[in-house]
Structure 1
């Protein structure tokens, strides 16, 4: 699938903030990409989910949205595809049903993971391992944005294919096209 330059432009415009920010690494930055700004905008969220529909492989039994950013996306995507949804926690809750994945049982079912942004794939890797331990078949993740370095396959080590609506390069190109250099 080819990227959608208009979607890249609109997401970049909505999510790229300037100011003073402390990154997870502790470093200071003058620019920050706030992915939740597209996930909480109904129009942008719907556009992203519509672009994800053709990325969902045939034979998917369930769509598993990763906590927190994948949950709104998987909810919309599930409605568009008619495929059941799971809400996958970072770790199983310690009370009630003590589930890792809220929704129907996963054993013997093909679960396609849904994530907002992938950079290193750490959250997807952990969810894949946990879902496979519960008997699920996990071989694909569909994400809104793949921010991993160009040409890399961040989840090859666990046998998961990444299918992205947009890449970091798409967002960078949108930014350059808008005339706002770095």
Structure 2
């Protein structure tokens, strides 16, 4: 399957699962948007999660990761699927007192790892996991996601290119310039990360 076929199939899955939301959303960055990707709705279907994991694993495989790591909560399912497809172990980091911690797993000292997330906007969570595991002696070789919304904006400090199945860009607005606020649409804070 070529890149266009994969992106087309993924877009069908995002639409079919209800993961591509429209409304008035408060993003973690503090900006507002009329669109939001809730990949948990996509990943609730095991066959969609398997497809995304296998295709993302094909992009990650050339980097030779010995372990896959993800930020909790959004990256857990897709990270596990990528690890399954590659036949390597999976670990995740979780927030404790506002900072990522590796609590349940042995440190990946001396191991090559890739960080996998569902959707990347600023890359903050991916970078935080990668830097934490590097500080524990891991070797950060790649980063990937289902959908890259970063627009390669330079927010993320990741080694090399962010690998993804699709790139998407939606308009975002400062709260004082938001046309959705001007229309009186209710503001919703989606996702798992508290601002």
| TM-score normalised by the chain length of structure 1 | 0.75
CA-to-partner distance for each residue in 1:63-113, whole Å, 9 max, x for gaps? 0021111111122222222111111223489xxxxx615334311111111
* Kept in 2: contact 1:64–1:85 (CA 8 A): yes
> What's the counterpart of residue 51 of structure 1?
55
Question: Residues 147 and 18 of structure 1: is their aligned pair in 2 closer, same or farther, counting only changes over 3 Å?
Answer: closer
> What's the counterpart of residue 186 of structure 2?
none
> What's the counterpart of residue 161 of structure 2?
161
Q: Distance in 1 between matches of 2:155 and 2:150?
A: 7
> What's the counterpart of residue 174 of structure 2?
none
Q: Quick one: which of 84, 101, 104 aligns to 1:102?
A: 104
Question: Residues 130 and 165 of structure 1: is their aligned pair in 2 closer, same or farther, counting only changes over 3 Å?
Answer: same
**Alignment partner of 1:84 is 2:89:** yes
* Kept in 2: contact 1:113–1:142 (CA 8 A): yes
Which segments of 5 or more consecutive residues in structure 2 lack a partner in the other structure? 171-195
Counterpart secondary structure, 1:138: strand
Counterpart secondary structure, 1:113: strand
Greater RCO (CA < 8 Å, at least 6 residues apart): 2
Question: Residues 92 and 101 of structure 1: is their aligned pair in 2 closer, same or farther, counting only changes over 3 Å?
Answer: farther
| TM-score normalised by the chain length of structure 2 | 0.71
Q: Distance in 2 between matches of 1:108 and 1:131?
A: 10
Q: Quick one: which of 104, 123, 126 aligns to 2:125?
A: 123
1:133, CA displacement in angstroms? 0.8
**Alignment partner of 1:71 is 2:76:** yes
Q: Quick one: which of 5, 11, 16 aligns to 2:14?
A: 11
Which segments of 5 or more consecutive residues in structure 1 lack a partner in the other structure? 94-98, 172-182
